[in-house]
Amino acid sequence: MNSHQQLLLGVLLAALATPALAALNVFATVPEWGALAEELGGDRVKVYTATNALQDPHHVEAKPSLIARARSADLVVATGAELEVGWLPLVLLQAGNPKVQPGKPGYFEAAPHVTMLEKPVRLDRAEGDVHPGGNPHIQTDPRNIARVAGPLSVRLAELDSANAAYYQARYKAFAERWNAAIVNWEKQAAPLRGAPILVQHKAFTYLEEWLGLKEIAALEPKPGVEPTTAHLSEVLALLQRQPVKMVIRAAYQSDRASQWIAERAKINAVALPFTVGGDDAARDLYGLFDDTIARLLKGMQ
Amino acid sequence: MPRSILARSALALALLSAADVEAASDADLAQIRDEIRQLKESYEARIQALEQRLKDAEAKAAVAATTPAAPGPASAPAVASATTAPAPSAGISAFNPAITAVLQGVYANLSQDPKQYAIAGFVPSGDIAPAKRGFSIAESELGLSANVDDKVYGNLILSLTPDNTVSVEEAYGVLTALPGGLTPKFGRFKSSIGYLNDQHQHVWDFYDAPLPYQAFLGGQFTSDGLQFKWLAPTDLFLELGAEIGDGANFPGADRNRNGIGSGAVYAHAGDDVGASNSWRAGLSYLQLRPGDRQYAQTDVAGNSAELAFSGKSQLAIADFVWKWAPNGNATRTNFKVQGEFFWRKEAGDLTYDNGGTPGLARTSTYSSRQSGWYIDGVYQFMPSWRVGARYDRLATGTVDYGANGPYLASEPFNPQRYSVMLDYTPSEFSRFRIQWQQSRLRPDVTDNQLFVQYILTLGAHGAHKY
């Protein structure tokens, strides 16, 4: 190898190595964990979010772009509870990145850090798209975000020990501000307590648990199964006996079933941002819950 | 499902041994232990009830959070992450691999006899005929996969054919712990050349393989060997791969020789364009040296001739796929277009044996340059429902039989096929499809084909490749 080739090789290697040194590369499967990693990591992390709020998180493809980003990730932040079962294992298998395989410090799941609800008593695909670990849409309760924030900040500090104090300080500041915000949201949401609602998909279990909303029925006959006219008619009949204020759905879902029932039952159809980026107001985690509560309160009118 | 039962019993046992439960009373624990003992013969419902009780005990035993101290709001009691972390497994069956079974069946209505199925002007490539007429089950598949240890992932896929034979479709290991984006694979695997080649038939958008796959690869190219894949550390998906193998499958032939029988190199690139579009494109090259690749062909006199080719076979493939879904949300509507172009060059010696009569066998030079392509589009117009159309075309190109020309040469002919399909996918685990196509694979022979197909997936949630 002559000196020119050596130089070229050196430049090439440097070019390949540089991106990893700049900051901790975080690969978040869904927007809420991307936003949380940004809150906790500040300018020491570079966050890539694999999906957006208008995508159905159950149906994501192992796209080339995701494999390429997982290749250079230092930390993968996933929800777990089989939310990403259809694509993340394949992405990680193809990414050739041993740092972020399950079980390694570079792989973080949020679900083990919260109390899971709706664990199915019967595991059978005839029950629809059920998750053995429980309902995976844990981000609709801000207290779950707080529960995940601690372990996630610890993980960031483990992976990037030089900045451990920085992550700890950011976590402390975030936790204080977040907890104050929760108290504030709970105050605002007081009129929602006990309010009966319909949901399109069982995506809001944790939100209901937090705010005391009462879910009367879901428009999907089984989780992940498209609403049918027969089932919608049953729900409509049920509303005669148990009137509700509104029907809520996530931003990524079609409004057809919600509109159908809203028109006939004379109730409000409310689209919630569901995660960061779900609408213009939900630009960050704070905006997500500000807007969620504002829309729910509007739906009560 | 046995696996989930075992996983749960493992979880239960592990929780019992975990320190976290110490806070629960001894009586509680003794009782749960007793139930665990009975659990071996118990059914799923029992285990679930038990799991719930364990969870309750665990909640009672919750220790202080290991997370950094932070003031929690009154409404948000700190949850101990340690107690809710996944428990390690125990028990001899806890490590059972993920099991997937694919069941398929078809009703085929064919205007031409599938036993006569052949593509004019192309070397017969093996078993490429459609299913038999009428009802039949198509190939079923049984897959087992798991991490073998911290360095290797293993995957076995058995194919169960309607005529009651079992074959090993794929059986390979992947080294998962190598740094630098390297994922070497070894064993029997579907080559990653082209786009469709390494996808299993049950995830295709049409019932059967495109014509170029049938003509040039005998359906799909599989080899026993090694694969090296390297993924570039760039935001653009760029994957380079090389494979070496035994080259025993078409267009190769079993060689009974040491060394390498087939070699392939390929490059795939891909990315997103905005939130709604994504693509992948690739170039592949496959080279084999078949020795004595035997096949039968009808010669110009109408006799069946035994032929054997020895020489070099080179195949190049250019492939692309483009997918669109509004905002990346493919649940309601999405569109996909894909196409692949094949070029093959073969050069060597061809032995022509008319009826095996001694003295009539003659060997001469042989060379061919042939090509083919297909393009298809699939549109999901509402949830669960898709329509698709496909066009396939082959060009016999130039075939030089040398001194055997007077006996074997045929007129140039370009086989082609039009297909349309409609499928219904009630869930990720089932699909029902109806496909109609018209093909002209031999001069003056038009085959109208109708397929009604089902695909059912049982067991572990499989992930589909892009």
Query: In order of start, what are the domains of chain B with their CATH numbers?
Result: 2-66 (no CATH), 100-459 (2.40.160.10)
Task: Give the percent of chain A with pLDDT over 90.
Answer: 84
Chain B residues close to A63, C-beta within 8 Å: 270, 272, 278, 466
Closest chain B residue to the Cα of A183, Cα to Cα: B73
Tens of pLDDT, residue by residue over A233-257, are 999 999 999 999 999 999 999 999 9
pLDDT at residue B186, as a whole number: 97
Average pLDDT of chain A to the nearest whole number: 91
Size of interface A-B (CB pairs under 8 A): 188
Q: What is the pLDDT of residue B30?
A: 63
Q: How confident is the model at residue A131 (pLDDT cuts 50, 70, 90)?
A: confident
Of A131 and A53, the one with more pLDDT: A53
Closest to B235 (Cβ–Cβ): which among A68, A128, A147? A68
Mean pLDDT of A204-210: 96
CB contact under 8 A, B463 and A171: no
**Best residue in A97, A130, A229 for a mutation probing chain B (most B CBs within 10 Å):** A97
All domains of chain A, ordered by start, with CATH? Answer: 10-184 (3.40.50.1980), 189-300 (3.40.50.1980)
Query: Which member of B59, B233, B427 has the closest CB to residue A71?
Result: B233
Picking from A55, A128, A175, the nearest residue to B328 by CB comes out as: A55
- Name chain A contacts of B100, Cβ cutoff 8 Å: none
- Stretch among A113-122, A200-209, B68-77 having the lowest mean pLDDT: B68-77
Q: Which segments in chain B show pLDDT lower than 70?
A: 1-90, 355-360
For residue A13, is pLDDT > 60? no
| Chain B residues with CB-CB distance to A67 below 8 A | 231, 237
Q: What is the pLDDT averaged over residues A138-152?
A: 97
Chain B interface includes A42 (CB < 8 A) = no
Query: Where in B191-303 does DSSP place strands (E)?
Result: 222-231, 237-245, 262-273, 277-288, 293-298
Angle at which helices B26-39 and B2-17 pack, to 10 degrees? 150
Helices marked H in A23-63: 31-41
Q: Cβ distance A55 to B327 under 8 Å?
A: yes
Contacts of A51 (CB under 8 A, 6+ apart): A29, A30, A31, A57, A60, B328
Cα separation, B261 vs B290, whole angstroms: 8
Single-letter amino acid, residue A84: E
What is the pTM for the complete model shown? 0.84
- Residues in chain B within 8 Å Cβ distance of A101: 176-177
Residue matched to tokens 């809520």:
A248
Q: How far apart are CA A217 and CA A240, in angstroms?
A: 13
Residue A19 has pLDDT above 50, yes or no: no
Radius of gyration of chain B (CA): 28
pLDDT value at residue B420: 98
Task: Give the separation between CA A245 and CA A223, rounded to whole angstroms.
Answer: 22
DSSP string covering B360-413: T-EEEEEEEEEEEEEEEEEEEEETTEEEEEEEEEEEEEEEE-GGGHHHH-----
Closest CA to A80 of B297, B439, B85: B85
Q: For residue A231, which phi and psi values (nearest 5 degrees)?
A: -70, -40
Give the burial string for A132-150 (b: 16+ CB within 10 Å, else e).
Answer: ebbbbbbbbbbbbbbbbbb
Q: What is the mean pLDDT of residues A114-143?
A: 90
Residue A67 touches chain B, beta carbons under 8 Å: yes
Tokens for B437?
């196509």
Looking at per-residue confidence, does A158 or A22 come out higher? Answer: A158
Helix (H, G, I), strand (E, B) or coil at B435: strand
Instruction: Give the residue from chain A lying closest to B46, CA to CA.
Output: A121
3-state secondary structure of B243: strand
List CB contacts (< 8 A) between A90 and chain B: 463-465
Residue A74 has which token pair? 């230092």
Output phi, psi for A15, to 5 deg: -65, -35
* Closest alpha carbon to B164 in B136, B128, B130: B136
Cβ neighbours of A121 in B, within 8 Å: 45, 48
How many Å lie between the alpha carbon of B132 and the closest alpha carbon of chain A? 32
